[in-house]
Amino acid sequence: MASENGKPIIPLPERLRPKTLADYVGQKHLVGPGAVIRKMIESGNISSFILWGPPGVGKTTLARIIASETGCEFYTLSAVSSGVKDVREVIERAKAGRMFAVHAPILFIDEIHRFNKAQQDALLGAVESGIITLIGATTENPSFEVITPLLSRCQVYVLKELEMSDLDALLERAVKQDNYLKSRNITLKEKEAIFRFSGGDARRLLNVLEIVVSSFPDDAPAIDIDNQTVIDCLQENIALYDKNGEQHYDVISAFIKSIRGSDPNGAIYWMARMIAGGEDPLFIARRMLILASEDVGLANPNAALLAQSCFDAVHQIGMPEARIILAETCIYLATSPKSNSAICAIDAALAEVNGTAAPHPVPLHLRNAPTKLMKELGYHEGYKYAHEFEGNFVDQEFLPEGLTGTKFYEPGKNAREEELRRRLKTLWEKYNY
């Protein structure tokens, strides 16, 4: 469909949305030969599942393809605009048509992490009884926001950012197969800027291409696109590039880096950008909860408590009042001393565990001995109960054989952990604190 001036009304990402699995780009671990979702499609037996991944990697498209290729009736709801009433209406329509269908209809819910408990509860019975097959899409870890009973009835499949080869294939398909773009005689001299601005998001990639092409006069005999053309065009059309004027991942990155860098002014500014741009306040609270452990850590353990309290309060109160709680937590985290010693310790320990062919056996003196046989085998023998010794401490070995003296935790250089270092140094000579 074209407008009066000959330009398409339908956006390029929608015009190029794949209709079949053969045209679907990326996610080979899910839809490639022998992969789990391809097997489901081929067998026609679709179970309920949730697609978790960043924006623009094909979650909605994949759901539509599954419905099309299996002949299932397809319903769709957006968690942003739909309520319990909408969910129940879809379920009733699905019940009414179920007797005439071979397969249960598919209900696709975009941004399912935004459904509240009541909305998710409304889905449970229909999913469990097979009235509908649920396919949810989310950019957030479903473990945080999807209720346990519903999550237990769904598999979770992780979608990855598109690779460079995937993005390149999409660009080439656009300029060669789209009827309008073919007529513009486009040459892609350089692609790095388009790839960079897309951030692995297919929708963004095609939106950027469309914006750049639209910047050329209608009567241009040919369009040559290089990196500078893309940069200049997007600087002039940033609102078109991102409909909210907010580059989601760039802004959250600036926000996190400002808190990590102990700048409350930068942090509160980027938070204001997110709030003004309509960002989910729970997303902001969740990121601060992660940061409290990852970047503030043991330099100020109270930070994690405040961040958890913030998350709970935002969940209960909502906007606009939640902005005050978010701001308080943001400033507290930004002005707290910083330490990443805990994440370094667990990553070092995981590297040791994952790099060992066979797990080290637990030393006998650390094993429990609930039976007579275990006691006879030496389980628990030699264990020293710390509270029976002065200072509630006794020097004994807690690592398995072969790892004696291995230091995974290195205290950070901050007041609290320097105090911890002094204590550990008096207790554990072998760790060389």
On whether the CB atoms of residues 303 and 414 are closer than 8 A, the answer is no
- pTM value? 0.59
pLDDT at 238 over 60: no
The string of DSSP letters for 181-219 reads HHHT-EEES--HHHHHHHTT-HHHHHHHHHHHHHTS-TT
Does residue 6 carry a pLDDT above 80?
Answer: no
Would you say residue 428 has pLDDT above 80?
yes
Q: Domain-by-domain residue ranges, the chain?
A: 26-158, 164-241, 248-335, 344-431
Give 146's DSSP letter.
S
State how far Cα 408 lies from the chain centre: 28
* Topology match between the domains 248-335 and 344-431: no
- The CATH number assigned to the domain with range 248-335 reads 1.20.272.10
| Options 3.30.360.10, 3.40.120.10, 1.10.8.60, 3.20.20.70; CATH of 164-241 | 1.10.8.60
pLDDT value at residue 331: 95
Compute CA distances 293 → 20, 260, 308, whole Å.
Answer: 44, 11, 11
Is pLDDT above 60 for 126? yes
Question: CA of 245: how far to CAs of 202, 249, 277, 279, 356, in Å?
Answer: 18, 12, 7, 12, 49
pLDDT tier for residue 333 given thresholds of 50, 70 and 90: very high
Helix (H) / strand (E) element for 336: namely none
Mean pLDDT of 174-178: 87
Q: Which CATH superfamily is domain 344-431 in?
A: DNA polymerase III clamp loader subunits, C-terminal domain (1.10.3710.10)
What dotted CATH number matches 26-158?
3.40.50.300
State the pLDDT at residue 242.
53
DSSP annotation of 323 reads: H
The most confident of the ranges 158-162, 335-339, 381-385 is 335-339
pLDDT band at 245 (very low <50, low <70, confident <90, very high): very low
Question: Residue 401 in contact with residue 363, Cβ under 8 Å?
Answer: yes
Q: Which run of H or E residues covers position 108?
A: strand 106-110
pLDDT tens-digit series, residues 187-215: 888 888 888 877 778 888 888 888 888 88
Residue 248: band (very low, low, confident or very high) from pLDDT cuts 50, 70, 90 = low
> For residue range 66-108, what is the model confidence (pLDDT) as tens digits?
988 888 888 888 777 777 788 888 888 887 766 666 678 888 9
What angle do the packed helices 264-276 and 322-335 form, to 10 degrees? Answer: 150
